[in-house]
Chain A
Amino acid sequence: KAGVTQTPRYLIKTRGQQVTLSCSPISGHRSVSWYQQTPGQGLQFLFEYFSETQRNKGNFPGRFSGRQFSNSRSEMNVSTLELGDSALYLCASSLAGSLEANYGYTFGSGTRLTVV
């Protein structure tokens, strides 16, 4: 079966711009979570969506937002980019959320964002 697809794989943006990242979960998976990974901070939780509803949000400024569509595809948006937003952004899908333990998360390959 197809895995989690994240697009684009690489992105270079200028400070002040905005960016939209896309994630298509595994077919049938209704929960999508987003993480920011940096060498200094590790994996930081951004938000989780289930059936188009945000169920949890991490400690990120309001410049970071997301949404989920009826087909479970999700997008995250970062506005007014800062240099510190440079990171690997990972999307993960699961059947029903964090306690769907038998499956854990299936992660995408990530989008590497570089802000210059």
Chain B
Amino acid sequence: AQKITQTQPGMFVQEKEAVTLDCTYDTSDPSYGLFWYKQPSSGEMIFLIYQGSYDQQNATEGRYSLNFQKARKSANLVISASQLGDSAMYFCAMSTGGFKTIFGAGTRLFVKA
């Protein structure tokens, strides 16, 4: 069975500091993709970053980086230099070959001024 686990329901971070949001996954498929999405209070889901299972290097997109540890089946999101606008729900997601993406329960991030 495929599963995404986010164990941090809520996280606080000081503005300008870095924060790591945890994500572990489970799949028996050798080929899969891992994603992070941000959902502000407005409700729209925003794609942040992607990591493929065969990618050798960790993905980075601006202030976002994905710490991919394949053996541990973890795909943590690191946000550097947090901004007030980063306050939102963050979802880790995984897709395999079944034309379906599954999402974790999410982590609510609060950035403090």
Contacts and interface: CB of A to CB of B under 8 A. Distances in A.
A27 interface: no
Given A101-B33, A109-B42, A109-B44, A58 B100 contact: yes
A101 B50 contact: yes
B60 interface: no
Interface string A17-52: 000000000000001010100000011010010100
B95 interface: yes
Interface stretch (A62-70, A74-82, A90-98): A90-98
Contact of B47 (A42, A56, A106): A106
A50 B99 contact: yes
A92 B37 CA distance: 12
Interface of B: 31, 33, 35, 37, 42-47, 50, 52, 91, 95-106
B100 A56 contact: yes
A104 B47 contact: yes
Q: Top 3 A-B pairs ranked by shortest CB distance?
A: A98-B95, A104-B47, A107-B45
Bin chain A's interface residue count. 20 to 34
B101 to A, nearest CB: 5
Contacts, number: 67
Given A33-B101, A48-B100, A108 B44 contact: yes
A43 B45 CA distance: 11
A42 B44 contact: no
A99 interface: yes
Query: What is the predominant secondary structure among interface residues of chain A facing chain B?
Result: strand
Contacts of B97: 98-99
B100 A99 contact: no
A99 B34 CA distance: 10
A43 B91 contact: yes
A65 B35 CA distance: 27
A83 B62 CA distance: 42
Nearest to B98: A56
25 contacts: A31-B99, A33-B101, A43-B103, A45-B100, A45-B101, A45-B102, A48-B100, A56-B99, A58-B100, A92-B45, A97-B99, A98-B33, A98-B95, A98-B96, A98-B98, A99-B31, A99-B33, A99-B96, A101-B95, A102-B50, A104-B35, A104-B47, A104-B50, A105-B45, A110-B44
